[in-house]
Structure 1
């Protein structure tokens, strides 16, 4: 099965999910008294208007409790709405008891019993599900049917094992601020945790309500500041008319959104760039990414040189497979390569996401050791062509139902994903945050910079080749943002690296940097450590650029009360937070009034750099908008002064570091 609830574009008769034929049951035709009502109910269910279908099927059963087709279809509606699975089982068993014994292994009887097993499976009752399927397998003779039943039994056995060995974690519903009475799914959270994008079928604008009671999918966006999350708003730039669009992934620098759209050629992948403060009209990715077949998901590697995407084009291993395509030296996408049988099974694979560590691929699969339908797996890349055996993420992340679109944070301690199945659901599909007990054992640093481009060549042709000095291994082929030339590097802390900026025709002077442990990401602060290896620390001793454009922050002891007396305002803007006070070049503060920049040493071990003093939030908002116009300080946030004062060291040991002003 494909991702029908995520890409809800052409779905009609989803009764197939439960193996019951979508053809109108023959029983309905024989019961003239209820035929018209049954047809209306069947059509409503086909349009996913389950509320109307349930009411109509219930009306039939009130008049004829023995109506087998109404019993069966009402149970299916209960399953599809993720409610009353016990009631659905009761309806199915009643229908099974009514049909003649000779019909129990007819096509309808077999489908009904497989549906019963499937519902037990959804209820996480594997023993009962296996019992039904075992009897069924031993009673049918068709080889293909026995093979299908055996595959179902394999998934249920996987489920039994994983249910007995749950993964310790905490799952939290993001609440009605993000979740609605409609489908909300596909959450994407920025590296800093301060921005979230998601897809929702809630009402927005003038779009008409669809037959299933929901609205066309729209992309929503919200930001977080010290007061909490802003109200999610629809990204109108993506919707010139009423149409479905779903977000797929966010580039590492947060400036490219990949989207899914069902266009004239079928299911296709689009991309929108964030330029001059606005998201641009999505453009369809060219061949060979999109084809005349279905392409349903895409995500960039952390160095933005490789696109991982899904397609059912010929030559795969079955259904939707995961492919990768690399940018060539001129910025064009190369011929896609199938990731091979270690990743791709004979069934569908979906939603590939490569973690910023550049090694861990998260994806969903109906194959491998799935509990049933789509489960989330991860695999580690071993070389350009080989991967480790996929590992099931376990229960409760995975269930017998569809589970995918798993997006872990930088340190792998948290993730966001959507699900139908929890009792905390606000509406239909809701967005959840997952917190793991064990943290990522690695230590990644996020480094931001801007290309030199002394040759003035197209940005699309510039590459940053990053090699680890300890083993001379290339760890990244980074591509800068074509709009502004900025880039993000994701590097293991505690290592020395060589960075080369190259084009098809030339190369800049290599740069050696040292990424200290102090620059590693710390999830408690949720701030990205911003350093520019082209101009500033963290550099190896003796490799500080000779340019006068580099300088350190000098720590000058100040008295907090004295500084507070100078402040006649209540708001400031935080632009950076660092642990252990690594050296920072003044390049980082380009675009700011240096006299207004101060650093506050906190009790929690962080040095927070703030700029400006404002009488009210409106003034602070205006200043933040101005300093962000050139694409920098995207993570700056407005803070009230009083909490910073409470967080800072006592007067007798407090240090407020000011920038030196005598450096040219």
Structure 2
């Protein structure tokens, strides 16, 4: 039941009203039938039966058309509980006709009803009448917020955004509530929260559905140890790779407060036992609705912990070098207000943050907003996603696909299966994130083709820093997102094997397709050869570029961990130019690698070099692509 309505009813039942002579109230003038209907409505409200209560109040007003208490409660209920804004306007206008001085907050409630009914001029007129009246501090602040929002809405509806929501269908949605969707980078798996009925209680549980050719599969509950009927588990976030699940759990043993954030890793059999995120994130307050960055190193979440600006604020914590999470920090007053900011979603581009707020100018309810990271690392001023994406109704929990083309959210709409359903829609250009793609790969033994569980590291080639680390699953498969604007090195490693390297340049890429790669790993034995794909030289020179160090450090580490291993570094060129010049260039480039490895403590007797010029091509030298493949540095095992 709406708590405000209960307070209003208690206020009225206590008789704090002196009306005009022609007006009927519960305490004065209401006949027996009207009083009985009003009391029945009160009980219906107490049990959360808003529709039943509204019908009883309508009967009470039919019994006595000047029963002002019933009209007022009916109007507020039609607005806040039933979302029937036209009816709410009519009921509250009736109150205003009966007695414009009925209650100080009548102007506020009528202004809200006009606002939600998109009658913005009338809303402003009613709200301006509230100035100087003895309203509560909360209502006074809300008056100011609604006046600002009315000015915004008048302009916004003149510039509608592209919005054609599509229900995800019976595989996902049911007659109960489905909300808070989250999706993997390849849009193959959708996780969401469903309200299940258990006896007389409603419990939140986590479900997952997979995308088939034409529709979403029948969703299945993510069972123990994740969803447990003893607790409310929901508000999930799946990492773009699908390997880590972050979620909210309330009353789960081992927590710090009523609702905490937990996470679980996924292995070949399912999710492992969840672990609490710890006291630097969770508090005795409410810590909910996690969202993890693509590199799995920054966690955003909503909390009402101390140090915030209002109700729920958006906070973040960073995974430190010692693999502990930092003390959570507030995103600050540009994002957070004295009201509620919640349901953050950090896009895989790590530059675009979506969230919900009822504290920034909008359409009155909790609207969707977007903020973009500035060059200084701060978050920019939030922008409302606009009309009709945002409106007077409730929309919950927006997420945007990795490629930026599709958004998913929950809403209660006429074409739904009942209550809140999950929908998708094509994103408008105005709030699309930066381009992001992903790499999906399969790692296997080069000789036997057997799947290998290996470690995968993604490096920023410019800085040499690890962007993210993950493991393949039991099938040897992995997926990692690649945001635009950077060059990346991917290194795949397994003990007892030579590593395998790849690189992807996305500095100037605005769109494209995902990458699918096969990664054959070769066992450590004499004669095996790998290409050092992330070793780079200055053009027509043998000077190593600084971004080569990441891969060469892996070579040094390989040799350090295998002290009997002896290798040869081979330099290769294409067939452009003179053979003698190419021979010298290839030999000097191989020597540059050896010199670097010497600086890392690898002794001269374990590593040799040779320049092969263009004598061993691996591709056609008649094309630029082929020539690029032939210009390479190789590592060959000489002796184990």
TM range (shorter): 0.5 to 0.7
CA apart distance, 1:344? 2.0
SS in 2 for 1:257: strand
- Distance, in Å, in 2 between the alignment partners of 1:152 and 1:288 is 36
The RMSD of aligned alpha carbons is 3.9
CA distance in 2, matches of 1:36, 1:243: 39
Q: Give the conservation status (yes or no) of the 8 Å contact 1:20–1:115.
A: no
The whole-number CA distance in structure 2 between the counterparts of 1:181 and 1:511 is 49
| Matched position secondary structure for 2:261 | strand
1:153 to 147, 151, 173: 147
Instruction: Check the 8 A contact 2:169/2:216 in 1, yes or no.
Output: no
Instruction: Give deviations 1:65-94, integer Å, cap 9, x for gaps.
Output: 332222222233322444532222211222
TM-score under structure 2 length normalisation: 0.67
Partner of 2:52: 52
CA contact (8 A) 2:262 2:276 kept: yes
Q: Is the CA contact 1:446–1:521 (under 8 Å) kept in the aligned structure 2?
A: no
* Distance in 2 separating the partners of 1:227 and 1:435: 17
Aligned match of 1:84: 84
1:548 CA drift (Å): 9.6
Alignment of 1:546 onto 2:534: no
Structure 1 segment 361-440 matched on structure 2, within 5 A: 361-382=353-374, 385-420=377-412, 422-436=413-427, 438=429
SS in 1 for 2:353: strand
**CA distance in 2: counterparts of 1:516 and 1:66, whole angstroms:** 69
- Give the match's secondary structure for 1:411: coil
Unaligned runs of 5+ in 2: 16-24, 445-454, 523-527, 534-640
After the TM superposition, which of the residue ranges 331-340 and 376-385 deviates more from structure 2?
376-385
Deviation at 1:355, TM superposition (A): 0.8
Contact kept, 8 Å, 2:85 with 2:113, in 1: the verdict is yes
Structure 2 counterpart of 1:304: 296
2:90 match: secondary structure: helix
Task: Quote the residue 1:354 is aligned against.
Answer: 346
Query: Which of 455, 466, 487 is the equivalent residue of 2:459?
Result: 466
Partner SS, residue 86 of structure 1: helix
Q: 1:161 to 1:16 in 2, by over 3 A?
A: farther
Whether 2:4 is the aligned partner of 1:15: answer yes
Partner of 2:246: 258
CA–CA separation in structure 2 for the residues paired with 1:437 and 1:219: 29
Q: Which has the larger radius of gyration?
A: 2
Supply the distance in 1 between the matched residues of 2:79 and 2:296 (Cα, whole angstroms).
Answer: 41
Separation (CA, whole Å) in 1 of partners of 2:142 and 2:38:
30
1:197 matched to 2:191? The reply is yes
| Residue in structure 2 matched with residue 444 of structure 1 by the alignment | 436
Q: Shift in Å at residue 272 of structure 1?
A: 3.6
Instruction: Give the drift of 1:24.
Output: 5.3
How far is 1:376 from its partner? 1.4
Change (3 A) 1:426 1:302: same
* Cα deviation digits, residues 409-467 of structure 1 (max 9, x gap): 112111010123x4434322222211135495854331256999xxxxxxxxx994622
Displacement of 1:186: 1.3
Q: Matches of 2:249 and 2:293 in 1, distance apart?
A: 21
Q: Which residue does 1:331 correspond to in 2?
A: 323
Count of paired positions: 495
Match of 1:231? 218
The equivalent position to 1:477 in structure 2, one of 467, 479, 485, is 467
Answer yes or no: is the 8 Å Cα contact 2:185–2:438 preserved in 1. no
| Contact 1:496 1:512 survives alignment (8 Å) | no
Going from structure 1 to structure 2, the CA distance change for 1:330 and 1:151 (only over 3 Å counts) comes to: same
How far has the Cα of 1:304 moved from its partner? Answer: 0.4
CA 1:405/1:386 → structure 2, altered by over 3 Å: closer, same or farther?
A: same
Q: Whole-Å Cα distance in 2 between the matches of residues 495 and 423 of structure 1? A: 44
* Cα pair 2:286 2:304 within 8 Å, conserved: yes
1:193 Cα deviation from its structure 2 partner: 2.3
* Separation of aligned partners in 2, 1:79 and 1:222: 34
* Partner residue in 1 for 2:67: 67
Cα separation, partners in 2 of 1:74 and 1:463, compared to 1, 3 Å: same
Partners of 1:323 and 1:501 lie apart in 2 by: 34
**Secondary structure in 2 aligned to 1:332?**
coil
Q: Is the Cα–Cα contact under 8 Å of residues 467 and 499 in structure 1 kept in the other structure?
A: no
Secondary structure at 1:274 match in 2:
strand
1:188 matches 2:182: yes
Who is 1:125 aligned against?
Answer: 119
2:276 paired with 1:290: no
TM-score, length basis structure 1: 0.65
Q: 2:516 aligns with which of 525, 530, 553?
A: 530
Instruction: Classify the secondary structure of the residue corresponding to 2:208.
Output: strand
Q: Does the CA contact (< 8 Å) of 1:137 and 1:150 recur in 2?
A: no
CA contact (8 A) 2:247 2:262 kept: yes
Q: State the 1:378 CA deviation.
A: 1.4
Distance 1:142 1:191, change over 3 A: closer
Change (3 A) 1:43 1:441: closer
Q: Against the structure 1 CA distance between its residues 286 and 442, is the aligned structure 2 distance closer, same or farther, given a 3 Å change threshold?
A: closer
Secondary structure of 2:247's partner? strand
1:529-584 Cα offsets, whole Å, 9 max, x none, are 33378969xxxxxxxx933999xxxxxxxxxxxxxxxxxxxxxxxxxxxxxxxxxx
Structure 1 residue aligned with 2:173: 179
Q: CA deviation at 1:302?
A: 0.4
Any conservation in 2 of the 1:20–1:112 contact (CA below 8 Å)? no
Return closer, same or farther for 1:28/1:189 CA change in 2, 3 Å cut-off.
farther
Deviations 1:188-210 (A, max 9, x none): 2332223222222355xxx1144
With a CA cutoff of 8 Å and minimum separation of 6, indicate the structure with the bigger relative contact order. Answer: 1
Segment of structure 1 superposing worse, 79-88 or 409-418: 79-88
The aligned residue for residue 490 of structure 1 is 481
Q: Secondary structure at the match of 2:165?
A: strand
Q: For structure 1, which runs of at least 5 residues remain unmatched after alignment? A: 1-11, 453-461, 503-507, 537-544, 551-664
SS at match of 1:296: strand
Task: Report the counterpart of residue 96 of structure 2 in structure 1.
Answer: 96
Q: Distance in 1 between matches of 2:96 and 2:471?
A: 61
Is the alpha carbon distance of 1:381 and 1:52 closer, same or farther for their aligned partners in structure 2, counting shifts above 3 Å?
same
Residue 208 (str. 1) matches residue 190 (str. 2): no
Residue 49 and residue 255 in structure 1: after superposition, are their counterparts in 2 closer, same or farther (change >3 A)? farther
Q: Secondary structure at the match of 1:41?
A: helix
